Structure 1
Amino acid sequence: MAGFVDAAGFVALFGLFTSHVTGNFVLIGAELVSTSSGVIAKLLALPAFVLAVAATRLIALALERRGIAPLRRLLALQAVLLALFCIAGLALAPLRSADGPDAILVGMLGVAAMGVQNAIARLALAHLAATTVMTVNVTQAVIDAVDLLRLGKARAGAARGRLGRMLPAVAAFAAGAIAGAFGVAHLSFGCLILPIAVLAGLIALPERADAP
């Protein structure tokens, strides 16, 4: 989902990363020494991201005080924000300028949605591999692969377990990024229906008694 939304947003929003604050910092630096546009949207992405993460944390705390597991509610919040991202993008398309008010509004909705996903990964899914930051996953996967080859299966059980968590996350992100790029090229913001449907499916899954 993160790869899909990030790639779709990058293509449709003139190079704006919806999930990666680091990427936007790099693009700000690049654009400040070039003649291209888009600096305003990338600058606004940081406070939008921070506010989304902070709001997600506050909502999670409020739910936990009431004895309610927050994961489903937070997934629903992300689905709503993605739906607004999709609707605003379709309603305001074609976006003509990276720093136009229409592109900024659409972009900040996307950033907010992915800010929620980043927060969910830390608050409710911390036992899994990161879903949005692949640099850490790839680095750890390479280290664990080297350890597994050098130490053998008997001595590298922890590395084998981590590798089993990291590789599916990296593969899923890569597949999502390719799908998102093709999706936005053919369906514009309508392609966001797919990640919204994935969220709806996750919300509908029955809870496991042993779920953390």
Structure 2
Amino acid sequence: MQVHGAAQSVREGRRAIDRDWLTVTGLAFVAGFVDAAAFVALAGLFTAHVTGNFVLIGAELVSTSNGVIAKLCALPAFVLAVAATRLIALALERRRIGVLRALLGLEALVLACFGAFGLALGPFPSPDSAPAVCVGMLGVIAMGIQNATGRLALGHLAATTVMTVNVTQTVLDVTDLLRGERGDGDRTRARLRRMLPAVLAFAIGALAGAFGIAAWSFWCLVVPVLALAALMIVSEPIQDHSGP
């Protein structure tokens, strides 16, 4: 019985690792895709890492170009999305409903609205026009939900939106492994296996999003929506709260 229980624990552990790998890879792909697509379609608006918009605001004010309004609105929209996601997660936990699947569904819904309104209201005469700003904020809200989800339900995994920390840690770990450091080799390799898929998936997603928005306009948002739907299937099941 003990041997059978140990074998079952090993299988469950492997399934959890596979699920974590798929989740990180899929979400990083989604973030890269949406960030690049929005950047191309909405005059350089960052949706996944909104602090980058501050740099662009300064550059655009100096060069007197357009698109400042959306970038100014991005941070408050992002903050409100994160706060709302936190409140939704707390409500789900009180009802014993699986947080991850529900938040992935919410992000997919907002991304679908991002694509639908982009198709309905575009092409935009100006990135500072009301339709362009409203559509851009839907993208920011979707990525705010993903950022919050990463902290609330996936805190043990690599970040899936902002890749600077992941890239830095990946380079450090590769350097240590190439130097032949043995003291912490297992931990370094485990961390590398956790970080590297996110970095690569984000890069692939960014390329796909840039080419997708150029070729198919906002129709390309079908891709990340389907990716989120697939992640909902492999994520943890919604807990049954019908019992006592």
2:187 corresponds to which of 158, 168, 180: 158
Deviations 1:29-65 (A, max 9, x none): 1112111011111000000000000000000011111
- Partner-residue secondary structure (3-state), 1:33: helix
2:137 is matched with which residue?
108
Q: Structure 1 residues 206, 46: closer, same or farther in 2, change over 3 A?
A: closer
Matches within 5 A, 1:81-160: 81-153=110-182, 155-160=184-189
- Partner-residue secondary structure (3-state), 2:109: helix
CA distance in 1, matches of 2:143, 2:90: 19
Deviations 1:61-91 (A, max 9, x none): 1111122221111011101100110100000
Pair 1:189-2:186 in alignment: no
Give the partner amino acid of 1:40.
I
- Partner-residue secondary structure (3-state), 2:154: coil
1:11 is matched with which residue?
40
CA distance in 1, matches of 2:235, 2:207: 30
Instruction: Name segments (4+ residues, structure 1) moved above 3 Å.
Output: 151-155
Deviations 1:1-26 (A, max 9, x none): 10000000000001101111221011
Identity %: 69
Pair 1:69-2:98 in alignment: yes
Pair 1:202-2:231 in alignment: yes
CA distance in 2, matches of 1:206, 1:180: 24
Higher-Rg member (1/2): 2
- Partner-residue secondary structure (3-state), 1:178: helix
The 8 Å contact of residues 101 and 236 in structure 2, kept in 1 or not, is answered as no
More moved, 176-185 vs 159-168: 159-168
Aligned-pair Cα RMSD in Å: 1.3
Deviations 1:172-206 (A, max 9, x none): 00000000000000000000000001111111236
Give the partner amino acid of 1:83.
A
CA distance in 1, matches of 2:234, 2:60: 44
CA distance in 2, matches of 1:50, 1:84: 19
1:40 is matched with which residue?
69
1:50 corresponds to which of 79, 93, 97: 79
Total equivalences in the alignment: 208
Instruction: Compute the TM-score of the two structures, normalised by the length of structure 1.
Output: 0.94
The 8 Å contact of residues 37 and 99 in structure 1, kept in 2 or not, is answered as yes
Give the partner amino acid of 1:180.
G
- Partner-residue secondary structure (3-state), 2:51: helix
The 8 Å contact of residues 79 and 200 in structure 1, kept in 2 or not, is answered as yes
Give the drift of 1:150.
2.3
Instruction: Compute the TM-score of the two structures, normalised by the length of structure 2.
Output: 0.82
The 8 Å contact of residues 153 and 160 in structure 1, kept in 2 or not, is answered as no
